[in-house]
Amino acid sequence: MIGPLDSPNLTLLLTDQKGRPLPADDALDRAAALRQELRAADFVLSATPATAPAQSHLPLAAGGRGPAEAITLGAVATAVLPPMVPALIEFLRGWGQRNQGVRIRLAVAGDADGAVFDPSKMGAKAIKALVERLQARLVGERIRTPVGARQTSSAA
More confidently predicted of 83 and 3: 83
Under DSSP, is residue 10 helix (H, G, I), strand (E, B) or coil?
A: strand
Model pLDDT, residue 93: 95
Kindly write down the DSSP assignment for every residue of 13-66, as one continuous string.
EEE-TTSPPPPHHHHHHHHHHHHHHHHHHTS-SEEEEPPHHHHTTSPPPGGG--
List the chain domain ranges: 2-138
**What is the tens place of the pLDDT at every residue in 52-107?**
545 555 555 554 455 557 777 775 566 566 778 888 899 999 999 999 999 999 88
How many angstroms separate the CA atoms of 106 and 116, rounded?
A: 6
Q: Quick one: 63 exposed, middle or buried, by C-beta within 10 A (0-12, 13-18, 19+)? A: exposed
**What is the tens place of the pLDDT at every residue in 135-152?**
777 776 555 554 334 444
More confidently predicted of 125 and 12: 125
Phi first, then psi, for residue 72 (nearest 5°) are -95, 130
Residue 80 has a CB neighbour count (10 Å cut-off) of: 12
Sheet containing 116-117, strands listed edge to edge, beginning at the edge strand earlier in sequence:
46-49, 69-74, 10-15, 103-108, 116-117
Q: Provide CB contacts within 8 A for 89, sequence distance 6+.
A: 119, 122, 127, 130
**What is the tens place of the pLDDT at every residue in 4-60?**
445 557 888 888 888 888 887 788 899 999 989 988 887 777 788 776 545 555 555
Model pLDDT, residue 141: 59
Model pLDDT, residue 44: 75
